[in-house]
Structure 1
Amino acid sequence: MELYNNHKGLFLAAAGLFILLTCFVAIGPALTSQNNNAPLPNSKALTALENEGKAVYVAEGCIACHTQQVRNVDMDKVWGERPSVAADYARNTRMDTWRSTALLMGSERTGPDLTNIGKRQPVSDWHLLHLFNPRTVVKESVMPSYEWLFEVKDYPFVEDVTVNVPDEFKKGISGKIVATHKALALVAYLKSLKQTKLPDGKPVPIFLYGQSKTDLNTGTKGTGSAAKPEFDGAALYAANCQSCHQSNGEGLVGAFPPLKGSKVVLDDNPEVQVTIIMEGYNGRVSEGYGVMPAVGTNNNLKPEEVTAIVNHERENWGNNSKKATLAQVKKIIESLKRPAAPVIAKK
């Protein structure tokens, strides 16, 4: 053929074939994938600080022990409100010009899944304590300490974020423990990890396989739709409150206040206690305690679940106060939907 003797024609034919194949094999599928997996309407792009934290997350190898995928199996209900979908990862793009997309879904779950950690644990103080020494908040944790993300100062600056570490975990440190910029960025990234609600009209994926024994997120016992719902206060407390207030109700000195012997818990009127669970609390910031998030609202707790938590706190660790009734709790929650003055109380 004459084409083989014409080097210019041969080159143009080869180049044209290459471009055509590239369009069919690479560019076309990429555009289709991009259009089919657009970010969810209510999702938000990471801020500059959160992007820095994502880089720290990658650099510190957090993916080795933590996943970011809620599977469609019943056991994953504790990690998210629904199974993950492809659109959840649409914003996970190239980190910068030189680094490719970080694959953060993970395959090992030595530690808990982090898909919804921003809603499960929205308190910066908790995350900073956990990073400095995980055993301060979770005694059984096998996670290593990330002490190099902190520094010690005798006289912190006003803008410095100090971490109130219990004395038993300070390892002889006499100064103030201050979070570095890397630590703050990492915490900002972790707090940004929240499942986005699917648009109205879109089918919500279901969790497969029946529920058995006790669901740690709701405390519901039984199997199948015919099971009678019983709300387990201990399981609900463990899922929603224990990470800060601890299993013994004693909290952490200088970080999270105790519920054992708390005036709020011992009060026969549960109004303040329920209000704090539903709306959060900042009345003890001056004492060094962090701001408590609105756990009940953030976790969509039902009145029955709030009642179970309230009564668990009232009946344990030596507390012996009057049990709250479901009717009382419902009335208090309903009243909170109307504008009211902030509650000021001390634990």
Structure 2
Amino acid sequence: MEFFNNHKKLFGTATLMFVGLTLMVAILPAIHNQENNQQLPGAEKLSADAVKGKALFVANGCVACHTQQVRNVDMDKSWGSRPSLAADYAGIKRTDFWRNTATLMGTERTGPDLTDVGNRQPSKDWNLVHLFNPRIVVKESVMPAYSWLFTIKKEPSKNDVVVNVPAEYLKGKEGKVVATKDALYLIAYLQSRKQTKLPDGTAQPEFLYKREVKKEAAGGAAAEDAGANGQALFVANCQSCHQENGEGLPGAFPPLKGSPVVLGDDLELYVNIIMNGYDARQEYGVMPAVGTNMSFSENEVSAIINYERSSWGNNGKHVTPEEVKKIMDFVKLNAPK
């Protein structure tokens, strides 16, 4: 009992046990991980603008709703090409001496995971419109509008980044929406979020709990597209810009409903736009290389084309994966080095 009545011995022993457990449970394992987990060879360092954007990502509470970890389960396939590895976070250092808000893995998905959002949604135009008011491009979104990161100018300068926002979202104000430096920093950080490819020869980790894809009887459209779901692919990769009704967003993203490209006979142009993007329309923003970024197969490209050609009143010619593959091989062969 003397031990429990002597506060020096009691608190001294408790302190030693606390320090010892901290060393064994936290500090030593952390040092071991730091020495044994290295960055992947192709990992890129954040640019100066992206570093500032990361600070804004934390300051504006984005970390509360978005994770940056692709779990090893089938349902996370939409967030990245592979499950996250320890190496993905090995190069992330403390924000500064006092703060360790560096690894933004998150704990909640009120919004989508952002591990690979730089590949999934690389369009700068879309990201700026979405940041100004998410409901413009995703009507069901619960994300708050970050309109304070933008200004409205009647006469933007040639160096200003103008955001194409429909007039009904300006609340009666006249002028053009211009992105501030903070908005551009934040977008730079989001666009930097890309899963690093594994070195050649390294086995790609497989997702657990894989679901079998049911195919329709031979001769059906789904069978020809080898199980690829055109509507699901459109929703995941195209709908945010071209919208659920296929009408796009005036001044920002072109319509697919009644589009001469979608309904036309120039399949090579159509496939090339999906795979390599498009930047030949002054009235619309630049379309990124969605197909290349997401490593679409000929089955997935043909499924998207067939969905777009048969939706919103469109009645275009059905295409096969074999037709698309010939064009994809030609496009890759003639792509600029």
The reply to whether residue 283 of structure 1 matches residue 294 of structure 2 is no
105 and 155 in structure 1: CA distance in 2 versus 1, 3 angstrom threshold:
same
The match for 1:329 among 304, 324, 336 is 324
2:307 to 306, 312, 317: 312
Residues 278 and 201 of structure 1, relative CA distance in 2, 3 Å threshold: closer
In the TM superposition, what is the alpha-carbon distance from 1:201 to its structure 2 partner?
Answer: 4.4
Q: Which moved more, 1:76-85 or 1:168-177?
A: 168-177
Partner in structure 1 of residue 3 of structure 2: none
Following superposition, the deviation at residue 31 of structure 1 comes to 4.1
TM-score normalised by L of structure 2: 0.86
Question: 2:296 pairs with 278, 282, 301, which one?
Answer: 301
Q: Which residue of 2 aligns with 1:272?
A: 269
Q: Which residue pairs with 1:235 in the alignment?
A: 232
Deviation (angstroms), 1:88: 0.8
1:184 maps to which residue?
184
CA contact (8 A) 1:120 1:299 kept: yes
Q: Which amino acid in the other structure matches residue 189 of structure 1?
A: Y
CA deviation vs aligned residue, 1:154-183 (integer Å, no higher than 9, x gap)? 111211111000122222121111111111
Pairwise CA distance, 1:332: 0.9
Partner residue, 2:251: 254
Give the structure 1 partner of residue 107 of structure 2: 107
Establish whether residue 244 from structure 1 lines up as the match of residue 241 from structure 2: yes
**1:43–1:250 Cα change, 3 Å:** same
Cα distance change, pair 35–283 in 1 and its aligned pair in 2 (3 A) = same
SS in 2 for 1:247: coil
For residues 191-237 of structure 1, what are the alpha-carbon distances to aligned partners after superposition, in whole Å with 9 as ceiling and x for unaligned?
0001111224444332111316xxxxxxx547xxxxx8422211111
The AA in structure 2 aligned to 1:320 is N
Please list every run of 5 or more consecutive structure 1 residues that lacks an aligned counterpart in the other structure.
Answer: 1-16, 213-219, 223-227, 342-347
Q: Which runs of 5+ in 2 are unaligned?
A: 1-15, 216-222
Q: What secondary structure, in the 3-state scheme, does the structure 1 residue paired with 2:172 have?
A: coil
Letter in 1 for 2:166: P
Residues 144, 298 of structure 1: alpha-carbon distance in 2 compared, 3 angstrom cutoff: same
| Residue 256 of structure 1, CA deviation | 0.4
Asked if 2 retains the 8 angstrom alpha-carbon contact of 1:70 and 1:80, the reply is: yes
CA distance in 2, matches of 1:74, 1:339: 35
1:36 aligns with 2:33: no
| 1:58–1:102 contact (8 Å) kept in structure 2 | no
Is contact 1:221–1:231 with CA below 8 Å preserved after alignment?
Answer: no
Distance 2:45 2:101 in 1: 15
Q: Displacement of 1:99 after TM fit?
A: 2.9
Q: TM-score, normalised by structure 1?
A: 0.83
Task: Name the stretch that deviates more: 138-147 or 148-157.
Answer: 148-157
Change (3 A) 1:235 1:50: same
Q: Any conservation in 2 of the 1:131–1:147 contact (CA below 8 Å)?
A: yes
- Call closer, same or farther: CA 1:207–1:175 in 2, change over 3 Å: same
SS across alignment from 1:337: helix
Equivalent residue, structure 2, for 1:344: none
- State the Cα deviation string for residues 113-133 of structure 1 (Å, max 9, x = none): 000000000011111111110
Q: Report if aligned partners of 2:49, 2:185 keep a CA contact under 8 Å in 1.
A: yes
Matched-pair identity in %? 61
For 1:78 and 1:96, how far apart are their aligned partners in 2? 33
| Residue number in structure 1 paired with 2:12 | none
The one-letter code sitting in structure 2 at the alignment partner of 1:247 is E
